[in-house]
Amino acid sequence: MAQNLRRMRYKKGMSQEELAAQAGLYRTYVGHLEREVHSPTVDMLEKLAEILDVAPTDFFTDPPPPIPAAPPRKRKRS
Annotated domain spans of the chain: 2-57
Which DSSP category does 77 fall into? P
Residue 71: what pLDDT?
66
CA–CA dist 54, 57 (Å, integer): 8
Residues of the chain with pLDDT under 50: none
> What does CATH list as the number for 2-57?
1.10.260.40
Q: What does DSSP assign to residue 57?
A: G
pLDDT at residue 50, rounded to an integer: 94
* Residue-level pLDDT at 16: 92
